Amino acid sequence: MAQIGWIFDRSKCTGCRGCINACKFENNTTLDFTVNYRWFVRRESGAYPTPKVEFFTLACNHCDQPACLAACPVGAIEKRASDGIVLIDQDKCIGCEYCAWACPYGVPQVNQVTHKVEKCTFCVHRVEQGLRPACVDTCVGGAIRFGYDVQRYGEPPDGFADPSLTNPSIEFRR
């Protein structure tokens, strides 16, 4: 099975947040500010005369062993065999939040309007048409890319959960 995954180059992220806006518009979550499929982190470190600012943008990692899938009591979460994309069936989801509690990366979120859990779908509707996810198309610095069977991990940001928990499909570059 091919596994689709993210490639995030920390040295190329400009902190523009274009990926977040593209994701919101593509997935129609612009009016519902309770759900973010992709989020942004700004980290400052160092001191004068050498301060440092780093930016990260993260989304669902479409893990090899998704904790969310194992935690779902109604089988609403599936991992597609064709590409490894992890999806939540909104018709089956009961909004119990077990998947959200199980995910070590804090990805699944309850939509306060539908009371069901949502997360990044890797823009599956675009990928199936041979297009790239909206966040990848919008990234002006080329920091977000994707591919199949990506090299794993690299140097994750501080605070990133232990990759051995779920084997996330993300490669961090610097």
Domains and CATH numbers, the chain: 4-173 (3.30.70.20)
By the 8 A CB rule, do 57 and 38 touch? Answer: yes
- Which pLDDT value is given to residue 1? 64
What letter does residue 34 receive in the DSSP assignment?
A: T
Q: What are 48-74's pLDDT values in tens digits?
A: 999 988 888 999 999 999 999 999 999
| Local confidence band at 104 (pLDDT 50, 70, 90 cut-offs) | very high
pTM, to two decimals: 0.89
Q: Do the bridges between strand 153-154 and strand 170-173 make them parallel or antiparallel, or are there none, so unpaired?
A: parallel
**Residue 80 has which token pair?**
């597609």
**Residue 13 has which token pair?**
């992220």
CA distance 121 to 77: 11
Q: What percent of the chain has pLDDT over 90?
A: 66
By the 8 A CB rule, do 5 and 147 touch? Answer: yes
Q: Do the bridges between strand 52-59 and strand 38-45 make them parallel or antiparallel, or are there none, so unpaired?
A: antiparallel
**Residue 45 has which token pair?**
């470190």
128: left (phi over 0), alpha (psi -120 to 50) or beta: alpha
- Which pLDDT value is given to residue 7? 93
What letter does residue 91 receive in the DSSP assignment?
A: T
Strand partners, 57: 40
Phi, psi of 85 (to 5 degrees): -70, 135
| Local confidence band at 92 (pLDDT 50, 70, 90 cut-offs) | very high
| Local confidence band at 130 (pLDDT 50, 70, 90 cut-offs) | very high
Omega into 49 within 30° of 0, i.e. cis? yes
What letter does residue 141 receive in the DSSP assignment?
A: T
Q: Whats the size of the chain, residue-wise?
A: 174
